[in-house]
Structure 1
């Protein structure tokens, strides 16, 4: 490999790196681009200042580099809930702050109901797809952004780079109203790498009157006579409204009782609605085990709780418990999970409902007392959370367990970092990092960063900018 010139090294070590960057939305401006256009070292914008206090200034010098090197279209797997705006990259964690004062840009559709987004490509790449999401009506900007808060409204293929080094992305705009976040994903086709962008916007029509409080999920059928209660609380924790619904005969199926409950709430509540919110602001119940959500009036600032009380049969509900054969797995493997230790005071017949709450894996059974969690070797560390609902005729109880799933660090390597630095070959050299995992130096030109002797920035797996130089194996 040709060695870099002294001038090259001087620039790298004295100024934040912009050479191997990639891009961000400029029309409307993304959250990170907006902050980068101000005084990065001493921001006056309150949200940008808070982001700097949380994560430093490097995130704004690197405004074009919110990426995941091994996304490969598995975006929900590599970018966790609450970390979407930073792309799951800790360097950009300041962008994930849940605030209502991020600078938002008014946007409106043209005569054809469309809008041209402009993405500045500082380092163009071959494209698999551009995906646009928008927050749902009732989304709360003061809560961490989740994938469940979004729905896709536009997907484009390999759009050609326009003059000026920008991508012009023409999409139909959703019929949203008021303040929202548009979330953009740019997936490369020549690499597994993807880039992530949050754009704060204001659609015509003012602010929405409803806040999405969460789902009503019919995980199990309910016995006739079961009481389902919606409780609404104010900021002090006091009850302000209670709506009770008693399940009638023939209406206890998992897809039916949430629908009947929603009808009851919508007929009697002065402060809440249950159902599915459409683009026109209507909230209508749906017959489904999932799909109905609780909405409260935004001006009321309420919290909610749904209580389910089984009919008095003299049977005490169980207390769920999970035992796991392991709580840490490296690479591919499996974990046996058992709920046989759940207490059952009345010795009544029990049913089980297993589900994966977060992370990626498969369950051998969802309705047996014991199940096996199968785990494929992950591209990077993840936490897989599995929950079980244990039920009898007297009620139900939930329990969950978190499994730490580690990427495998096995295999051969050329050096233990930082030994050999200065002689690493882009695209070829494999080193063992301080975390015990293996990393390959990125191909040229990104691979130039591998040989820079700055562990703070480029130590594989731990440096602030390690993903610019290395690929975890």
Structure 2
């Protein structure tokens, strides 16, 4: 609804802009609603809901607006905001923002602890959930989900907090469900195996599939038939592929600090055990056998913790002083590796000189890298050391006063731990060809002087800002020379950064738009 204050603000704007904003406001108000019975978290934040929840933020004044509609003000699942055309389990608000519908200005709704929100008492079996509409819209469906039996009420709500199959899908065939101000009722069957604090998530998807409204209802399920669990969920083991030689271990804490005596370590000694579905179960079995006051697995119908393949939950007795169990991973040390790129097998001397350009890349450590050129007599004719800690330096070695023949490039990488890596590359220096006289007095008949082999203006990316049509550069990564194309393509030649290499000569995905190979 456009208020008097809003209209006053519009009048201060140019007419076209004011009309556009008014139309946008009307569109955004096209459909709004909330779960009125049992009272939702957002509804209990408002005056109409009795202000039973406090410090809720912006939703206090509009519990009907917890709406996911993809744009820059919402956080989407899995990573970016986009229109949600499917079920809650596949798209919509990002994990951790579900209660607020992904809306950042309603983020107060996302706070999640066992005692943060007022709860509504319900019983297992059929319960009526009523949506109230401040504005209606053609509707695709309503869906209702419930948290898992072993969910952790002290962690942010994620899709994994809820059962993947909805308790109810109520389809409405893209028709209006009621009049503005009216309600719709939905019979939701609360499972008989649930008791205590749970969350029921209701979603209302409008008919054009562009937006969905989200309402979480904090319920206390009064169920004398189900004995309360003896376990408290305090975390999870997340599956991740490991490598042979790695270690994975538990770190156990109470209010006084870490309990080192309760640590359990699993050595990953085979490729099978390193699989992300295998080691979590093996760790859980080892922990459970140790009987150290915490268990890993999932609860069965007998309230027993049973290790599973893949993801497992971490449980402690409800009266335990253990408040946290973390899973730490220690990767096996990987041997260092040295690569040298950009060297050619042969170079041509010019006035007894030649420049070598190449890259050295040292992996798995902190290295100091040196490069030396040695002639056939065992004499060092050039030497250069890269800055310490630069594990991927570019070298430019100028050989002067050298003669044709065989040479060795020796690249050494020394780590702080004393590890030594070496790469030796042999190359040949070829004598410069003697100049031949051109018949007819040395002229070329008015033609263009051919390019001198190996001639270039810069070693890429040096002098980048000066690149223009006709600029010749040496690409040290492949030892080849490239020429910047004429206008209008020459503008691409200067478009290069370490994180944007699509026009890098000979290397980038679109280099041929900017360069010609010489």
- TM-score relative to the length of structure 1: 0.54
Q: Which residue of 2 aligns with 1:243?
A: 264
Say if 1:210 and 1:73 are closer, same or farther in 2 by CA, change over 3 A. Answer: farther
Q: What is the aligned partner in structure 2 of residue 158 from structure 1?
A: 171
In structure 2, what is the equivalent of residue 31 of structure 1?
A: 41
Q: Which residue of 1 aligns with 2:160?
A: 148
> In structure 1, what is the Cα distance between the partners aligned to 2:43 and 2:363?
54
Q: Any idea what the Cα deviations from partners look like across 1:322-351, whole Å, max 9, x if unmatched? A: xxxxxxxxxxxxxxxxxx98841499xxxx
Aligned-partner Cα distance in 1 for 2:5–2:235: 50
- Cα deviation digits, residues 108-155 of structure 1 (max 9, x gap): 123xxx333222233333322322222234433333222232223324
RMSD: 3.8
Correspondence for 1:198: 216
Of 67, 85, 94 in structure 2, the residue corresponding to residue 73 of structure 1 is 85
* Structure 1 segment 268-417 matched on structure 2, within 5 A: 268-278=290-300, 281-287=303-309, 290-299=310-319, 300-309=321-330, 315-316=333-334, 343-345=363-365
1:96 is aligned, of 95, 105, 110, to 110
Query: 1:342 & 1:120 partners in 2: Cα distance?
Result: 64
Q: Distance in 1 between matches of 2:227 and 2:47?
A: 27
Unaligned runs of 5+ in 1: 320-339, 348-473
Is the CA contact (8 Å cut-off) linking 2:34 and 2:215 kept in structure 1? yes
- Determine helix, strand or coil for the equivalent of 1:83: coil
Cα deviations by residue, 1:5-24 (Å, 9 ceiling, x for unpaired):
xxx7538669x999755211
Cα pair distance change 1:242/1:146, threshold 3 Å: same
1:276 positional shift: 2.6
| SS of alignment partner, residue 170 of structure 1 | strand
Shift of 1:69: 2.6
Q: 1:49 aligned to 2:54?
A: yes
SS of the equivalent of 2:199 reads strand
CA contact (8 A) 2:136 2:178 kept: no
1:179 to 197, 201, 204: 197
What is the distance in 2 between the residues matched to 1:245 and 1:301?
21
Q: Which moved more, 1:234-243 or 1:183-192?
A: 234-243
Residue 120 of structure 2 corresponds to which residue in structure 1?
105
Q: CA deviation at 1:67?
A: 0.7
Q: What is the deviation of 1:301?
A: 4.9
**SS of the residue 1:259 aligns to:** helix
Following the alignment from structure 1 to structure 2, what is the Cα–Cα distance between the partners of residues 20 and 128? Answer: 15
- Take 1:344 and 1:142, find their aligned partners in 2: how far apart are those partners? 39
1:83 aligns with 2:77: no
Q: Against the structure 1 CA distance between its residues 195 and 250, is the aligned structure 2 distance closer, same or farther, given a 3 Å change threshold?
A: closer
Does residue 1:220 correspond to 2:242, yes or no? yes
Task: Assess, with a 3 A threshold, how the Cα gap between structure 1 residues 285 and 20 changes in structure 2: closer, same or farther.
Answer: same
The answer on 1:263 being equivalent to 2:285 is yes
When normalised by structure 2's length, the TM-score is 0.50
Q: Secondary structure at the match of 2:154?
A: coil
- Matched position secondary structure for 1:31: coil
4+ runs of 1 displaced by more than 6 Å? Answer: 11-14, 16-19
Greater RCO structure (CA 8 Å; 6+ sep):
1
CA distance, structure 1, for counterparts of residue 5 and residue 209 of structure 2: 27
Aligned residues: 300
Secondary structure (helix, strand or coil) at the match of 1:94 reads: helix
5+ residue gaps, structure 2: 9-24, 71-82, 338-359, 368-518
1:94 shift after superposition: 2.1
Aligned mates of 1:279, 1:122 — CA distance in 2: 42
Q: Distance in 2 between matches of 1:124 and 1:79?
A: 22
Give the secondary-structure state (helix, strand or coil) at the position aligned to 1:265: helix
| Cα deviation, residue 195, structure 1 | 0.3
User: For residues 72 and 258 of structure 1, do their structure 2 counterparts lie closer, same or farther at Cα, with a shift above 3 Å needed?
Assistant: closer
1:60 deviates by 2.4
Residue aligned with 2:65, SS: coil
SS of the aligned residue for 2:124 comes to coil
- From the superposition, tell whether residues 344 and 64 of structure 1 become closer, same or farther in structure 2 (CA, over 3 Å): same
Q: Deviations over 1:139-179 (max 9, x none)?
A: 33333222232223324132484798322222332332211
